[in-house]
Amino acid sequence: MQRSPETEKIEKHLNVISILFMVLAGFSLLTLLFLPLHFMMFESFMDHVPRQANGPDPKKMMQEIQPFVYVVYAMIGVFSLIIGAVMLATGINLRRRRHFTFCVIGSALICPSFPLGTALGVWSLLTLYNQHTRPLFAERTSLDDADFLD
């Protein structure tokens, strides 16, 4: 089947966008490795803050807020894991030309991640809502019975 130059251009855009989604997913998942290091540095810093005359004891303050700090670090870790997984799944689905609605949602979810996520999210949304893009996803859906050939 002969493809139009516009369709080939859209396919190239989708391939680049899918790779960028996977790269950003990797960076998001790397946050999980950085969190324990950051926490240890934070605790070390709080242990070495000198006590000022007539001021509060930094070690006692750290002990008081420690449960809150654990919750914040856990929330950051869970959020990074979820966003990383959604970005990875969006990149894979864009590459395979499947689950159009999921790709749109994943593209919209990355937009608040300024500046790279915003640029990638807007570019992917503009590409997904191009008139030549939807048939690529529909064509792939019609071939689902032949998935064993992939």
> In this prediction, what percent of the chain has a pLDDT beyond 90?
49
Helix axes 100-110, 5-47, angle to 10 degrees: 40
The rounded distance, in Å, linking the Cα atoms of 5 and 64 is 63
Q: What is the DSSP letter of 55?
A: S
Over residues 79-122, the pLDDT tens digits come to 999 999 999 999 999 999 999 999 999 999 999 988 988 999 99
Note whether 17 and 123 are within 8 A (CB): yes
Note whether 17 and 120 are within 8 A (CB): yes
Band (pLDDT 50/70/90 cuts) for residue 1 is low
For position 146, what pLDDT does the model report? 53
